[in-house]
Chains A and B, each alone.
Chain A
Amino acid sequence: MVTETILQQLVLFVPELILTGTFCLILLTGAFTKLRDYGTSTLTLIGSIAAFISVLPTIGVQKSLFAGMIAIDSFAVFFKLFSLVCLIGITLFSLHAGELKLVRTRSAEYYALLVAMTLGMFLMASATHLLMMVLAMELTSLSAYVLAGYTKEAADSSEASLKYILYGAVASGLLLYGISILYGLTGSLHYTTINHVLAVEPLSRVPLALVFVLLLVGFGFKISAVPFHSWTPDVYEGAPITITTFLSVASKAAGFAMLIRFFKLVCVNPVASVEAGYSIPLLPIDWQLLLAVLAVLTMTVGNLVALWQENLKRLLAYSSIAHAGYMLIGVVSFTDKGIASVLVYLVVYLFMNMGAFLVVMVVANKTGSEDIRTYRGLGSRSPFLAIAMTVFLISLTGIPPTAGFIGKLYLFAAALDAQWYWLAFLGVLNSVLALYYYVRIIRNMFLRESESAVPNISLTSGEVLLLGALLVPTLVFGIFFSPIVEIAQKSIVMLGVP
């Protein structure tokens, strides 16, 4: 009986199965054939496109699978498609990455781990059971640890990997401790059951507050929120740039998916929320305020520290911390609008952040440096690259007519709508702060001349296409943003939320 149900349910689990199959296939190919880089990357692309297509039929489905372990719903589908787009993008990036060329012999491991990480993100986005959530998170994290140290010949890559593991291990440990206390209090690991127990039984504040803080450490680590961010700059700087990009976009998005689903299903009073028409917090602690403080800390610290960075990878690492802070604004308000605004922001962020990293990668390929000084005079040496970078940076700042503005607009609108005025105010002030360091890059590209005779950076057609594919949405969504907003609004449907 049970087996039969599971087999039936597997139909909806096909995307994950395809990814698992791709993972195995790549490993086997790497071990037993002479197909190296292009072979394995092609397999990755085929696998991810197949997974993408297999996700499409599950749009609109609302179902709980495997005895409530995971949920198939629009929210999960959104993040699945999101991670797949990232995976495809990163695979294409990897083909152009100079630092990976040195280690071509091990490329099977690289692509296999990327696929495994994506599988982890799938499960992170759909987990409705704490155990499943932890497993998914560990799958993503473990793959990421290895990938961060993938170019083990480079000392800072190994250092990045080690730091990542140490921080990650502590964060998972604390998260598990929190989960065990929560289990002790409520007797269940299912989100909905926990929610039910919390709603019915009065539990004392202190252990719940402890649980909450411990869980926040785990989530905060994943989305690199201040004060759990200290691993981010070193890992982002040390890891191969493709992995940095993947971590800063896909992994962060999956962290947000996990965070939002947990709070939405566990910490919101379902009955009262339906009556009121908006989400009513359930816990006896003000977790919204706590998240708001976290958001302010994250964006302010991220922006302030970014001001001083000379290495672009590190600068973008801090900027990505700040962006997590902005997105937390949407989570704090916790209305449907708030969550939709986070999804809008993620889509926008995907294009602009990947674009900025791509430019850094291309420049690093040619010059071997990520230092801001190598960007001097880029405007005259390679106008297209410099203009593309300018658009991405302006979008990251949030100035119209770029997509970044729409993202910020939705976040601040959601905050105002949910009456978080001071949060919106601090948010906009932060985007002014951020302008300074983004413009520093623009200043180096256009306002300063290169110090010595540096060769022009010529782009391959593949790089031009990739840049174009990221540039066009960054501009077009700034003017016609209906599609992303529509998708985001439809994607907030979560299983178990009335």
Chain B
Amino acid sequence: MTIQILGLGILSWITFIPLLGMVAVLCMPKHAHVAMKWTAAVVTLVQVILAAVIYFNFNPTLSGINTLDGMQFVERLTWIDLQSNTSFGRIHIEYFLGIDGLSMPMVLLTALISFIAVFASWNIDKALKGYIAMLLLLDTGMMGVFVALDFFLFYVFWEVMLLPMYFLIGIWGGPRREYAAIKFFLYTLAGSVLMLLAMLALYFSVVVVDPATGEKIHTFNMLAMMNPANYEPNSLLAGIGTTMRAIAYLALFIGFAIKVPIFPFHTWLPDAHVEAPTAISVILAGVLLKMGTYGLLRISYPMFPEMAQQYVVPLAILAAINIIYGALCAMAQRDFKKLIAYSSISHMGIVLLGMCALNSQGMVGAVLQMFNHGTITAMLFLIVGVLYDRAHIRDLDAFGGLALTMPKYTGVTTVAFFAALGLPGLSGFISEAFSFLGAFQNESIRLITIISTVGIILTAAYMLWTLQRVFLGHPHEKWRSLPDVSPRELFTLVPLAVIVIVLGIYPSLMINFMASSLNHLVDIVVRGSIHTTVLQF
């Protein structure tokens, strides 16, 4: 399946259209605020439409992951091609895009969250031109990560996000924005340079033969890296279960773990979230965190299946720590935004636990949880933003009885909170249930799973307690005059609430599209299923 618009594939469009928007915004006069906002809105709306086109043309039976024919909307061009000469091999880097059931939900999520983030930024006044430009650049980077199938390209997109994110937190953030921004930058760069080394090690180990000339070519092609037959004998990462492979797996893991973030690499997250403006928190929690788990599933698992199996227990322990520790930290917060930030850590732990299950239920639960957490957490941060915009404080204990003065706001909040704590009928329940079910089936991590379920109770506790503190009880005099949620704010919240409810009732809308790919991924990891892909240059 390929769709082309003006000779360019749809994935290129969906990735680079924000960049076009950015160029347009940069060309506008400094004070054309309305035009800039609407450009961003239109560009991200187009992105959502393209994502919808992709969704409706997506073939759910194809599995992808490590097969080229299983990938959809593939675009493949030569980007860098250096012919070999004495003592230098041929260098071949491709512009290689494609999606499968693993990346499709993420593409949808990115388009949706970016669109909502634009509307959540409507009140930004300070240096709007720079803000919109950075937001759109960030959007391109995020989308690129989810559609790239060449490791080099993936890495470039991955890094392109750093600078815009630094500026978005650092310029438009809260009082401690400088500290939070540089902390985010340093943490993520530290992770990505380790990933860079692992990427180079993979590059030097993997060789594909050019069918035309019989020449051996090192490649950054991710699909080729997933095929053990392509590893050159005696190369760095050849063989199974070697120390070098363990080191490379660990390097990749740390790179991704920082992004998720997995304990003990999580300390940048509360700072970044608290200081970031609302829209950026939404993107950060909604999309950026998913890149970590996406990377683990797209790269670590299929390229190092034996390591993925071997390190299931340590990873599950980390997942349990994330779930319980994140929930406990959330419970201890008085700052509304920090509470949501820690709840993200807890919920991402459930994704990890689902991944550790190494079976269909767990994997589906994990990826669905990635999508659901993206929508639910985006709602939660928007909700915090609504309150903060009005009251200019986020201290939970300062509020009370808001249900009386802001009924609509309370209604939406309740949906989001109940979805976050996993109430049946809302999307969070399905994915959490699947993740825990899957993990429980895996005997090696059964005990850890049982312990982790404490997290569900803790989550319910802090969510309900927060609901009680902010919305119930006697209204404070001070907050009596707070206006209820505005139409613009409702416009950002309602679509997400609808998705949360619809996916809670009929999750097959999502599960059907990813099941085939994720089953195949489980196959690769557990049974070492190999589909040889003949690469053509």
Chain A contact residues, CB within 8 Å of chain B = 277, 335-337, 340, 379-380, 390, 394, 397, 399-401, 405, 409, 412-413, 416-417, 424-425, 428-429, 431-432, 435-436, 439, 442-443, 446-447, 480-482, 485-486, 489-490
Contacting residues, chain B, for A400 (C-beta < 8 A) = 155-156, 159-160
* A481–B80 touching, CB < 8 Å: yes
Instruction: Output the nearest chain A residue to B167 by Cβ-Cβ distance.
Output: A446
Cβ < 8 Å to A, chain B residues 240-269: none
Q: How long is the Cα–Cα vector from A439 to B162 in the complex, in angstroms?
A: 12
B535 is an interface residue with CB less than 8 A from chain A: no
B401 is an interface residue with CB less than 8 A from chain A: no
Interface 0/1 of B150-191, CB less than 8 Å to A: 000001100110110011001100000110011001100110
Q: How long is the Cα–Cα vector from A309 to B351 in the complex, in angstroms?
A: 44
Binds A, one of B200-208, B500-508, B516-524: B200-208
B481 is an interface residue with CB less than 8 A from chain A: no
Binds A, one of B83-91, B100-108, B362-370, B470-478: B83-91
B391 is an interface residue with CB less than 8 A from chain A: no
What are 24 A-B contacts with C-beta separation under 8 Å? A335-B87, A336-B87, A390-B163, A397-B189, A399-B162, A400-B155, A401-B159, A401-B160, A413-B203, A413-B204, A416-B197, A416-B200, A416-B201, A416-B204, A425-B197, A432-B193, A435-B189, A439-B182, A443-B178, A443-B181, A447-B178, A481-B80, A486-B82, A489-B88
B49 is an interface residue with CB less than 8 A from chain A: no
User: Nearest Cβ in chain B — how far from A380, in angstroms?
Assistant: 7
B196 is an interface residue with CB less than 8 A from chain A: yes
Contacting residues, chain B, for A412 (C-beta < 8 A) = 196-197, 200
Instruction: Output the nearest chain A residue to B80 by Cβ-Cβ distance.
Output: A482
Q: How long is the Cα–Cα vector from A489 to B186 in the complex, in angstroms?
A: 33
Contacting residues, chain B, for A380 (C-beta < 8 A) = 127
User: Nearest Cβ in chain B — how far from A261, in angstroms?
Assistant: 18
Instruction: Output the nearest chain A residue to B156 by Cβ-Cβ distance.
Output: A400
B236 is an interface residue with CB less than 8 A from chain A: yes
User: Nearest Cβ in chain B — how far from A85, in angstroms?
Assistant: 22
Contacting residues, chain B, for A486 (C-beta < 8 A) = 82
Instruction: Output the nearest chain B residue to A337 by Cβ-Cβ distance.
Output: B88
* B200–A413 touching, CB < 8 Å: yes
B50 is an interface residue with CB less than 8 A from chain A: no
B194 is an interface residue with CB less than 8 A from chain A: yes
* A447–B80 touching, CB < 8 Å: no
B81 is an interface residue with CB less than 8 A from chain A: yes
User: Nearest Cβ in chain B — how far from A104, in angstroms?
Assistant: 39
Contacting residues, chain A, for B189 (C-beta < 8 A) = 397, 399, 431-432, 435
* B182–A416 touching, CB < 8 Å: no
Contacting residues, chain A, for B166 (C-beta < 8 A) = 439, 442
Q: How long is the Cα–Cα vector from A78 to B127 in the complex, in angstroms?
A: 45
Which of B163, B170, B178, B186 is in CB contact (< 8 Å) with A432? B186
Instruction: Output the nearest chain A residue to B166 by Cβ-Cβ distance.
Output: A439
Which of B186, B196, B200 is in CB contact (< 8 Å) with A435? B186
User: Nearest Cβ in chain A — how far from B329, in angstroms?
Assistant: 26
Given contacts A416-B204, A432-B189, 12 further A-B contacts (CB under 8 A): A390-B163, A397-B189, A399-B159, A405-B159, A409-B196, A412-B197, A417-B204, A429-B193, A439-B182, A446-B170, A447-B181, A485-B91
Name the interface size band of chain B. 35 or more
Cβ < 8 Å to A, chain B residues 348-369: none
Instruction: Output the nearest chain B residue to A424 by Cβ-Cβ distance.
Output: B197
Contacting residues, chain A, for B196 (C-beta < 8 A) = 409, 412, 428
Contacting residues, chain A, for B156 (C-beta < 8 A) = 400-401
Interface 0/1 of B48-62, CB less than 8 Å to A: 000000000000000
Contacting residues, chain B, for A277 (C-beta < 8 A) = 87
Q: How long is the Cα–Cα vector from A477 to B78 in the complex, in angstroms?
A: 16
User: Nearest Cβ in chain B — how far from A397, in angstroms?
Assistant: 8
Instruction: Output the nearest chain A residue to B170 by Cβ-Cβ distance.
Output: A447
Interface centre among A335, A400, A424, A429 (most CB of B within 10 A): A400
* B177–A439 touching, CB < 8 Å: no
User: Nearest Cβ in chain B — how far from A128, in angstroms?
Assistant: 21
Cβ-closest 3 pairs across A and B: A428-B193, A336-B87, A400-B156
* B193–A436 touching, CB < 8 Å: no
Instruction: Output the nearest chain B residue to A380 by Cβ-Cβ distance.
Output: B127
* B170–A443 touching, CB < 8 Å: yes
User: Nearest Cβ in chain B — how far from A457, in angstroms?
Assistant: 17
Q: How long is the Cα–Cα vector from A379 to B163 in the complex, in angstroms?
A: 15
Instruction: Output the nearest chain A residue to B83 by Cβ-Cβ distance.
Output: A486
User: Nearest Cβ in chain A — how far from B472, in angstroms?
Assistant: 40
Contacting residues, chain B, for A443 (C-beta < 8 A) = 170, 178, 181-182
Which of B163, B171, B203, B204 is in CB contact (< 8 Å) with A394? B163
Instruction: Output the nearest chain B residue to A406 by Cβ-Cβ distance.
Output: B80
Contacting residues, chain B, for A397 (C-beta < 8 A) = 189
Instruction: Output the nearest chain A residue to B129 by Cβ-Cβ distance.
Output: A383
* A447–B204 touching, CB < 8 Å: no
* A436–B204 touching, CB < 8 Å: no
Instruction: Output the nearest chain A residue to B191 by Cβ-Cβ distance.
Output: A432
Q: How long is the Cα–Cα vector from A490 to B181 in the complex, in angstroms?
A: 42
Contacting residues, chain A, for B85 (C-beta < 8 A) = 489-490
Q: How long is the Cα–Cα vector from A397 to B194 in the complex, in angstroms?
A: 15
Q: How long is the Cα–Cα vector from A413 to B220 in the complex, in angstroms?
A: 13
Contacting residues, chain A, for B200 (C-beta < 8 A) = 409, 412-413, 416, 424
Q: How long is the Cα–Cα vector from A257 to B119 in the complex, in angstroms?
A: 56
Which of A340, A446, A485 is in CB contact (< 8 Å) with B171? A446
Contacting residues, chain A, for B182 (C-beta < 8 A) = 436, 439, 443
User: Nearest Cβ in chain A — how far from B249, in angstroms?
Assistant: 15
Instruction: Output the nearest chain A residue to B155 by Cβ-Cβ distance.
Output: A400
* B88–A336 touching, CB < 8 Å: yes
User: Nearest Cβ in chain A — how far from B198, in angstroms?
Assistant: 10
Contacting residues, chain A, for B162 (C-beta < 8 A) = 399
User: Nearest Cβ in chain B — how far from A175, in angstroms?
Assistant: 31
User: Nearest Cβ in chain A — how far from B78, in angstroms?
Assistant: 11
User: Nearest Cβ in chain A — how far from B292, in angstroms?
Assistant: 18
Contacting residues, chain B, for A435 (C-beta < 8 A) = 185-186, 189
Q: How long is the Cα–Cα vector from A399 to B162 in the complex, in angstroms?
A: 9
User: Nearest Cβ in chain A — how far from B82, in angstroms?
Assistant: 6
